[in-house]
Structure 1
Amino acid sequence: MSLSIIPDTLSRLRSRRAIVAGLGTVLGGAALAACGGEAAPAAAPTKAAAAAPTTAAAAATKAPEATKAPEPTKAPAAAPTTAPAAGAATPTAGPAPARTAKG
């Protein structure tokens, strides 16, 4: 077994980690929007952001073994908001319980 397999394996693991992180950002933004918060602008992946893991993996395979592939940049996390988004339906508790008269 040759040691040249190690850099290739590491670059594949890095690209998979970047893809998983990107999916987490997208799903987290969708969950936040579903809960009435505002979705982060970074939640919708752009073409450049979607191609970044592929570009990093391609650069890692072409780079000499002595150099390290650059780590993909992470998108900033969205700050949770307490106010509901404009036009979002606010949850209702349902009918109020009947009050009894105290004597």
Structure 2
Amino acid sequence: MEEHVVWVTTRRLRPGTLEEFERAWQPTTHPEGMRRAFAYWSEDGQEITGVSFWDSKEACDSWRASEPEAQRRANMAPYVAEEREGFYRGRELAIPQR
């Protein structure tokens, strides 16, 4: 099975700021080494989890240290009450047939 390198970030948003946060969250350039990205929102719109797949941890680290990412984080900061993030390695799980 193919192993993936993922960066997961979960942010609790300040009430009523989801629209503004979504505008600030979009990167201005495509991060080098990013394969795919997904976003998941809680029903109340107050928590958002981003999951991005990378070629390597080094590629992700390079993006995280870049000026475009620093600017993106500064743009998001007024809307974020709490943030947690982490790197993971994993693979797709096989689901048994019915």
Q: Say which structure is richer in helix.
A: 1
- TM-score by shorter chain over 0.5: no
Q: Say which structure is richer in strand.
A: 2
